[in-house]
Every structure is written in C-alpha cells, then in structure tokens.
C-alpha cells in the first residue's frame, strides 16, 4: 500500500504564523494606512494571495504583493520548523510514505525555507502558488501535486478548514493539526477524520492508517 502525505506548509511543518502576520501588518499600514487585527490576518492566511490581494488592493495588488514579500523576507530570522518536523519527514520517508507539499506560498520560498532546515530531501514534490491552474484550496492544486505518482491512498494534513475541505473533495483522509481541540460542531460532520495536537501525535496517526491498510487481505 503506497500512501502519499500531502502537507500544508505554513503552521503545519513550519512555524510561520507570526512572520506572516507581521508582513501582512506592514503591508496594511503602508497601503491601507490601517492596522490589521490578528483575526483578520488569520482569515487571509487561509486564502491564496493571488485570490485575496486583488480584492483588497485592486489594480495595485501586484505591487502590494511585492512589498509583502519584501516584508516577509525582512522578518525571515523568526522562521523555524515545527517541533518534530524533520523527524516526521524522515520517518515517513523510511516507512515508504511519499511526502508532497501543497501550499498557497510561492514554491521558490518553500524551497528556500526547506533548504535552510534540510527538509528538501524528504519532499517528493512541492506545489505552490501559481504552479497549478488554480491555487490551494482548489482541488486542482491537489490533483496537480499528485499527478503521475504511483499511490493508493492520500492523507491530507493541515491546520485549517480549507485543508480538510480539500481532502474531502478529493476523497483523501483528513488530519487536522493544531493545538486547539476542535469544538463541537466547529466542523461539518465527517470533515475531519483525525485530530492531532502536534506532529508526534500525527506520526502515530500515520502509522495507524498504514497498519490498517497493511492488515487488510489483498483481493
């Protein structure tokens, strides 16, 4: 049984929520002359920049996006992998999982961050903003990431509802990864198959899923 793990990048493998917020805040202070509440920033984090920026900045969105990337780079020293990130990718590779990243972030930025922390050798494929006809959370991005891979099952892991919806639309197993335990009725029934508070718990879930398929008799 060949299983692909489709990873979200920001706040799943990499701890980037603060750096993204600071860059977005800098952007709004310069281009909108207003501060950006954290709650609003979190909403924007769940969308692709090429989807939300034209709505907010209109014809100037590409200039605004370049400024955002500059501010993101200015805060880059704050970035770090999530605890157990490298270990789980190494374990997954050793156990025969294929690790694929599908993100709203530009692919060259993901490559740069992966190289900085020696994560790149564990990743089979990276699909970022602009690599598919439609960005994540569109299922088109997920299909592009998996195209041509010899796999039997797919696990999608991420920290947001958009990851769970993308998984369900594709027919994949969904794993919600975040510290906060899901509240009752927070997610539609059946949207979240598994919940993990950290990557160590996620690894136990991956093993459980793999074992459940390996134990099934072949037809």
Give the tens place of pLDDT for each residue, 33-83.
999 999 999 889 888 888 899 999 999 999 999 999 999 999 888 899 999
> Which pLDDT band holds residue 217 (cuts at 50, 70, 90)?
low
Is pLDDT at 92 greater than 70 in this prediction? yes
Query: Which region among 50-54, 147-151, 199-203 has the lowest average model confidence (pLDDT)?
Result: 50-54
List beta partners, residue 6. 100, 156
Query: Which region among 38-42, 120-124, 147-151 has the lowest average model confidence (pLDDT)?
Result: 38-42
CA distance between the termini of the chain: 13
Average pLDDT over residues 193-201: 98
DSSP-based three-state secondary structure for 6: strand
- At 11 the pLDDT is 95
> Which pLDDT band holds residue 29 (cuts at 50, 70, 90)?
very high
Query: Which region among 24-38, 43-57, 193-207 has the lowest average model confidence (pLDDT)?
Result: 43-57
Residues of the chain above pLDDT 90, percent: 88
Query: Model pTM greater than 0.75?
Result: yes
Contact yes or no for 159/176 (Cβ under 8 A): yes
Average pLDDT over the chain, rounded to whole?
Answer: 94
Across the beta sheet with 98-102, what order do the strands follow? 125-127, 98-102, 3-7, 153-158, 173-177, 194-196
Calculate ∠ Cα 48-189-46, nearest 5°: 10
DSSP, res 192: -
Residue 158 token pair: 């991420």
**Domain 3-15+80-214 is classified in which CATH homologous superfamily?**
HAD superfamily/HAD-like (3.40.50.1000)
Is pLDDT at 216 greater than 80 in this prediction? no
Residue 173 token pair: 């197993």
Residue 108 token pair: 């060259």
Burial class (CB in 10 A: 0-12, 13-18, 19+), 161: middle
Is pLDDT at 106 greater than 90 in this prediction? yes
Is pLDDT at 218 greater than 60 in this prediction? no
Burial class (CB in 10 A: 0-12, 13-18, 19+), 165: middle
Residue 6 token pair: 């489709």
- At 181 the pLDDT is 94
User: How many other C-beta atoms lie within 10 A of the C-beta of residue 104?
Assistant: 22
């Amino acid at each position: 049984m060949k299983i692909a793990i489709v990873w979200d990048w920001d706040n799943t493998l990499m701890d980037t929520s603060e750096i993204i917020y600071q860059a977005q805040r800098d952007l709004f202070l310069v281009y909108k002359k207003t501060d950006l509440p954290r709650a609003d920033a979190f909403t924007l984090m769940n969308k692709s920049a090429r989807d939300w920026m034209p709505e907010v900045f209109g014809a100037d969105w590409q200039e605004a996006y370049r400024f955002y990337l500059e501010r993101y780079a200015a805060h880059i020293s704050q970035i770090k992998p999530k605890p157990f990130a490298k270990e789980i990718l190494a374990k997954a590779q050793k156990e025969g999982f294929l690790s694929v990243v599908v993100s709203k972030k530009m692919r060259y930025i993901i490559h740069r961050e992966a190289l900085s922390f020696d994560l790149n050798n564990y990743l089979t494929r990276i699909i970022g903003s602009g690599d598919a006809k439609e960005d994540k959370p569109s299922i088109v991005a997920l299909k592009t990431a998996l195209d041509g891979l010899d796999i039997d099952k797919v696990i999608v892991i991420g920290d947001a509802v958009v990851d769970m919806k993308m998984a369900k639309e594709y027919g994949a197993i969904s794993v919600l990864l975040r510290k906060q335990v899901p509240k009752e009725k927070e997610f539609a029934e059946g949207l979240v198959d598994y919940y993990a508070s950290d990557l160590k718990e996620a690894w136990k879930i991956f093993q459980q899923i793999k074992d459940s398929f390996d134990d099934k008799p072949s037809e």
